[in-house]
Amino acid sequence: MPVTQEEKKMYDAFYPGKTWLDTEGKRIQAHGGSVMYIDGTYYWYGENKEKTTGKDEIWHWGVRCYTSKDLYNWEDRGLIIPPEPENPGSSLHPSSMMDRPHIIYNKRTGKYVCWLKIMNRDGSQTETVMTADNILGPYTKVREGLRPLDMSAGDFDLAVAPGGKAYYYFERVHSETICADLTPDYTDVTVYYSTHFPHTAPPYVREATAHFYRKGKHYLVTSGTTGYLPNPSEIAVADRWVPGHMDWKYENYKKTFEQMFDPDYHGEINTEDYELDSSVDTSVADYVWLPFRFSGEMGYLDWKEEWRIEDFE
């Protein structure tokens, strides 16, 4: 007799920071991703890091997607955007530093639109845009090497307003946050944009932008630009990118923190320990899902070893 989805259930709660397995018992590989809710099913997609072990130049192995009915137990639906290992010039080549896939649905065109951030070897950052008729693919490239507003565009999020207008929030590397209007088909930006949180340099520049809407107010959750080094964000939702990395370098991190966020320190800051490269094993990164607690309009995150959706409003 085949095993039913109900019998495959392994979890009835979230365990932040612990290894999270799918319904087949494999480590979930959906890093830097997002969750969409479509017709009663949750879709969690993100970077597939199963081959990013730090032993070679593999940064990613495409975009993988999982589905769930309860947010606890996730079924692997495979690669919705596969890598292109035979094309070294492709933004989807495994050595290409592709990050943070974001997908939105365009009701007018009936297309799912995916944007991918690409960190290029020359230090610039561009976008690859793809579309599909189904969230699970197949996806087709419509833009590659896109420089939105002729800017080097870093971490980002996409948001769709109730009326169908869409926006692209991104870090202009490394100076400010930009909110740009998307074109009606969501595959490019228009000339209209606004600027926010201007800073002269990291770590104060905001990255890892995530947008959500609650009770008539828009929120942007952002992080300081410190690479793999965590920083003291007041509100954050994150992967635990390099488990164990903090342990043996804790004293170095502590000193770097003190220097970075001390306005009176003007000396040289050691950034060597948290440079982004393919020499670290992100295939074992674990996810940190925490619930927002609101006091009035302000949101807070409290650490919980274990929590359940059913315990909240």
Confidence of residue 304 (pLDDT cuts 50, 70, 90): very high
The answer to whether residue 241 scores a pLDDT higher than 70 is no
How many of the other CB atoms lie within 10 Å of CB of 8? 13
pLDDT above 90 coverage of the chain, percent: 62
* CA–CA distances in Å: residue 149 to residues 126, 142, 178, 181, 191: 11, 17, 10, 11, 7
Confidence of residue 1 (pLDDT cuts 50, 70, 90): low
Judging by DSSP bridges, how do beta strands 125-132 and 189-196 pair with one another? unpaired
Confidence of residue 234 (pLDDT cuts 50, 70, 90): very low
Q: What average pLDDT is seen over the chain?
A: 88
Model confidence pLDDT, tens digit, residues 24-60: 999 999 999 999 999 999 999 999 999 999 889 999 9
Model confidence pLDDT, tens digit, residues 197-218: 888 777 788 888 899 999 988 8
For the segment 94-103, the average pLDDT, to the nearest whole number, is 96
Selection from 233, 215, 247 nearest residue 288 by Cα: 233
- Residue 279, Cβ density class (10 Å: 0-12 exposed, 13-18 middle, ≥19 buried): exposed
For the whole model, what pTM was predicted? Answer: 0.86
